[in-house]
A = this chain, B = another copy of it.
């Protein structure tokens, strides 16, 4: 949409003169799909615009529970992080006595690592040296002393950037030797989108919904064996804690996966961006790196692993800064040189995002002036998320026709929904997937924006939606009630 004072584009050129058309564009780009920002979100944005223009709707506001965008849902940033970012942006503030000393010393340290002491300089393409060292120290601490080499750390533009870069390195071959990449179903659609764009073969393995979305090695084996008939499977992607499932993998499961990867010679990609988002009792985050090293040199010296982290999730939720890192383990040194070259073409990840990543891995320490406040803010956010995870599961499970696994971690519920046959038929007749039909109706009637399960993948004949647990508790309650009422009405209407 454009303001009325600004001119619209001139009429579009006639088709036969046009160089770039839908028929002559890159065919792999056409295959890309990304449901989290797909048609349902575009419609939600239209509805918001119509509401703001005074149009009447059966709801007063659009509630976006489609994407893990914590601050947009009212979560507050960590004060210390933002103080340091302000100091780095405008170093005059280092003379301001209202800023705590630890924020100032952190800002000075970051600025000293920047060319000309400015966040406006390019950094090394792999990331600022001191930040990579801080990341390495964080990982070592997190993993109970397992060594971490800062040379193995690459800062990234959010985790997505790192994931796409690593997939890019892995893709080669044609036809039956084309690279295949194993991803969970349901998955986070960045993976399917990147594989489509790279022309790699997507190999699906199904998570076990009956066992709380856990991963079965027998299913990995089935999936791999079938894929070997038609492509060259080279990597196995894991999201833990799970997106969209909210499942947290057990230590045993991770060990089994590593053993499987070693046996089958698969490159492991561990998406661990929700590592601080673990809520359920008895669940704990185990990094793939730590488990790998605890399995001894037979594994830790051979299995190739990359792990991704980001500033966007956990208790900080700073998506807009596009900060992240990846750690590579056992990457061949010649390939590592190629990786370093490849990332240099994009010059460097955004420096404010790098600074933020540094603060995440090196937050205020006990005894520092900002420590107490930091701990309080972090705890408040994580406790609220835990409470909302529980609430979401509980309320959804009171609805006949909705069945929701415990939200053990991450930021999403992915309940199974029963869609009546009549609704399935109406959707199919309209060329729409039944869960898209369901979510679109929910949006039009209640203003609630969820993502259909088909955007993440699901077993044929089952239907789901992904819903974030991020809205503030009061709003989440309203949202859950509305979903409940909608589902009952929808079921009745189509029975």
Interface set of A (CB-CB < 8 Å, partner B): 1-3, 6-15, 17-22, 24-27, 29-30, 32-34, 37-38, 45, 67, 69-75, 77, 82-83, 85-87, 89-90, 93, 96, 114-116, 118-125, 129, 133, 136-137, 140, 147-152, 157-158, 160-161, 168-172, 190, 193-194, 197, 234-235, 265-267, 297, 300-302, 304, 316-322, 329-335, 338, 341-342, 344-353
Are B90 and A147 in touch, CB under 8 angstroms?
no
- By a CB distance below 8 angstroms, the chain B residues around A317 are 120
Are B26 and A158 in touch, CB under 8 angstroms?
no
- By a CB distance below 8 angstroms, the chain B residues around A82 are 89-90
Q: Within the assembled complex, what's the spacing in Å between the Cα atoms of A165 and B350?
A: 18
Q: Within the assembled complex, what's the spacing in Å between the Cα atoms of A157 and B2?
A: 23
New A-B contacts (20) at CB < 8 Å, excluding given A22-B335, A121-B320: A2-B133, A6-B147, A8-B149, A8-B151, A9-B151, A9-B329, A13-B304, A18-B304, A19-B265, A25-B170, A29-B342, A34-B341, A74-B116, A82-B89, A86-B87, A93-B93, A120-B316, A320-B350, A322-B351, A350-B353
Which of A30, A234, A352 has the most chain B CB atoms closer than 10 A to its own CB? A352
Q: Within the assembled complex, what's the spacing in Å between the Cα atoms of A19 and B172?
A: 12
- By a CB distance below 8 angstroms, the chain B residues around A93 are 86, 93
Q: Within the assembled complex, what's the spacing in Å between the Cα atoms of A333 and B121?
A: 37
Q: Within the assembled complex, what's the spacing in Å between the Cα atoms of A74 and B114?
A: 11
Are B344 and A20 in touch, CB under 8 angstroms?
no
- By a CB distance below 8 angstroms, the chain B residues around A332 are 12-13, 15, 18, 20-22
- Shortest CB-to-CB span from A128 to chain B, Å, is 10
- By a CB distance below 8 angstroms, the chain B residues around A27 are 172
Q: Within the assembled complex, what's the spacing in Å between the Cα atoms of A136 and B11?
A: 18
A11 in contact with B122 given A89-B86, A345-B194 (CB within 8 Å): no
Are A22 and B71 in touch, CB under 8 angstroms?
no
Q: Within the assembled complex, what's the spacing in Å between the Cα atoms of A12 and B137?
A: 21
- By a CB distance below 8 angstroms, the chain B residues around A316 are 120
Q: Give the nearest-CB partner of A87 in chain B.
A: B86
Q: Within the assembled complex, what's the spacing in Å between the Cα atoms of A317 and B351?
A: 14
Q: Within the assembled complex, what's the spacing in Å between the Cα atoms of A129 and B148?
A: 42
Are B19 and A118 in touch, CB under 8 angstroms?
no
Q: Give the nearest-CB partner of A74 in chain B.
A: B116
Q: Within the assembled complex, what's the spacing in Å between the Cα atoms of A292 and B13?
A: 14
Q: Within the assembled complex, what's the spacing in Å between the Cα atoms of A297 and B11?
A: 10
Q: Within the assembled complex, what's the spacing in Å between the Cα atoms of A53 and B332?
A: 29
- By a CB distance below 8 angstroms, the chain B residues around A32 are 341-342, 345
Q: Give the nearest-CB partner of A261 in chain B.
A: B19
Q: Within the assembled complex, what's the spacing in Å between the Cα atoms of A297 and B17?
A: 14
Are A73 and B116 in touch, CB under 8 angstroms?
yes
Q: Within the assembled complex, what's the spacing in Å between the Cα atoms of A114 and B319?
A: 12
The answer, among B30, B125, B266, B352, for a CB contact under 8 Å with A321, is B352
- By a CB distance below 8 angstroms, the chain B residues around A168 are 26, 29, 197
Q: Which 10 A-B pairs have the closest CB atoms?
A: A72-B115, A7-B147, A320-B351, A86-B90, A71-B118, A37-B344, A22-B334, A72-B121, A71-B120, A120-B318
Are B116 and A71 in touch, CB under 8 angstroms?
yes
- By a CB distance below 8 angstroms, the chain B residues around A319 are 120-122, 347-348
The answer, among B13, B38, B85, B118, for a CB contact under 8 Å with A90, is B85
Q: Give the nearest-CB partner of A19 in chain B.
A: B267
- Shortest CB-to-CB span from A342 to chain B, Å, is 6
Q: Within the assembled complex, what's the spacing in Å between the Cα atoms of A190 and B345?
A: 6
The answer, among B13, B21, B136, for a CB contact under 8 Å with A6, is B136
- By a CB distance below 8 angstroms, the chain B residues around A30 are 338
The answer, among B6, B20, B321, for a CB contact under 8 Å with A148, is B6
Are A304 and B266 in touch, CB under 8 angstroms?
no
- By a CB distance below 8 angstroms, the chain B residues around A71 are 114-116, 118, 120-121
A345 in contact with B169 given A6-B148, A72-B116 (CB within 8 Å): no
